[in-house]
Structure 1
Amino acid sequence: MSEGLRERKKRQTRQRISGVAIDLFVAHGFDNVTIAEVAVAAEVSVNTVYNYFQVKEDLVLPPEEASPRRLAEIVRERRVGQSATDAVLERLRQEVRGRERRLGLSEGFGRVLEMMQAAPTLTARLERLAHEMIAELADRLAAETGAAPGDPLPRAVAWQLGSLHTMVLSEIGRRTAAGDRPGVIAGDVLELIDAAAELMGERLLGYAVREE
């Protein structure tokens, strides 16, 4: 279904507010900029900002890009005959090749990363998000495989895949902070993903194959 005019305008407004906010946060520090100042710079009301972003942290980490259901949704959307692990590996490779913003592979992300690392509420949110992703994925895997209550396997697999996701983001962040270009980082991270996949056993690689 194509995007309607109203939906497109809402998306554009949301992106503009977020973009303005991030520029302000990078220039002055996340904790030093108020929602009111974001509203003035974006030429909207404070209420409009809150209509699009429930809390200040959402301006930097929008829920649709930094969702605790991210890994679970990747698994849910996998094709018939594909395992949960292969689905996550495939998506990460696609996003790295596409240098997607959600991974921090866009130009200029280095300054954004510095801003985020200097804001305790943002770093705490990222840490909490990583744990929530694993919990959501474990629940998804347990439901799909019909695992008995207390079966540790779904959570063990979820931790493996969550750790892989964290490793990719951490490597991108480390290399970005070092000043490396997105294209160079992307190539090296693809090799890192391949290396991690080679270390995975058959049981992990073949876990939770979608049957229908």
Structure 2
Amino acid sequence: MTTEPGLRESKKQETRQLISDCATRLFIEQGFEQTTIAEIATAARVAKKTVTNYFPRKEDLALDHHELFTGGLARTVADRSPGEAPLAALERAFRATLAEHSPVVGFTGPQFARMVTDSPTLTARLRELHDLREETLASALADPGADTGSDAAFAPRAAAALIAAADRLLFRRIQELTLAGRTDDEIEAALTPEADQVFALLAAALADSAT
């Protein structure tokens, strides 16, 4: 009784991944704007409706881990250790993902990075995702009991804006170095001291806050 739903879910995940993989390959080969949903469906051997059921927005076929990305900073804050400051948790998490060469912080490979850079649609969508990442972080930092018009309610938004700006800067830096032909290990080596500087500036800027 419990196996069938599990197999069904596994099959759905396999189909979703297959569609995403086929889409990414075509986007890289042909360009995002030039590739149609019908071509993706044909490559994945599924119906066009199946593609749109799994991915209502074409952009999500390329940026298919958008939910993980937009909620990442907020989850780090929510899951931090007792007594750990939010900024300390975020710095720890960034350094871990940097060492892992994670796509979440910008390690996407030169072909994928070029595909996004060359597409106005994907570039705009990535900006939207960064905005959502900032909004979810602000919610995680907020005091649920604070009056919306108070300084206590505004301060988390200000902190989130500063942290998100630094997050975007580091993401773009990784993308720049990727497009410049640097290897992941070289990018990690270059970003380590730059991240030191960024987080030191954030710590100074947020010194009087609870962040």
TM-score, normalised by the number of residues in structure 2: 0.86
Deviates more, 1:198-207 or 1:115-124: 198-207
Question: Is 2:176 the counterpart of 1:167?
Answer: no
Q: How far apart are the structure 2 equivalents of 1:57 and 1:203?
A: 35
Q: How far apart are the structure 1 equivalents of 2:61 and 2:102?
A: 18
TM-superposition CA deviations, 1:79-101 (whole Å, max 9, x none) = 21111111211111111111112
Question: Is 2:139 the counterpart of 1:128?
Answer: no
Change (3 A) 1:155 1:197: same
Change (3 A) 1:126 1:150: farther
Give the deviation of 1:192 after TM superposition. Answer: 1.7
The 5 Å alignment of 1:4-153 reads 4-62=6-64, 63-67=66-70, 69-106=71-108, 109-143=109-143, 146=146, 149-151=149-151, 152-153=154-155
TM-superposition CA deviations, 1:25-47 (whole Å, max 9, x none) = 11111011111100100111112
Q: Which structure has the higher relative contact order (CA within 8 Å, separation 6+)?
A: 1
Q: How far apart are the structure 1 equivalents of 2:183 and 2:52?
A: 34
Give the deviation of 1:144 after TM superposition. Answer: 5.4
TM-superposition CA deviations, 1:60-94 (whole Å, max 9, x none) = 11233332x33222211212111111121111111
State the one-letter code of the partner of 2:102. Answer: E
Identity in percent: 34
State the one-letter code of the partner of 2:119. Answer: A
Structure 1 stretches of 4+ with a deviation exceeding 6 A read none
Give the deviation of 1:202 after TM superposition. Answer: 5.9
CA contact (8 A) 2:87 2:203 kept: no
CA contact (8 A) 1:147 1:154 kept: no
Q: Which runs of 5+ in 2 are unaligned?
A: none
State the one-letter code of the partner of 2:156. Answer: P
Give the deviation of 1:148 after TM superposition. Answer: 5.7
Q: How far apart are the structure 2 equivalents of 1:183 and 1:14?
A: 31
Deviates more, 1:198-207 or 1:10-19: 198-207
Change (3 A) 1:47 1:83: same
Q: How many residues align?
A: 204
Q: Compute the RMSD of aligned alpha carbons.
A: 2.3
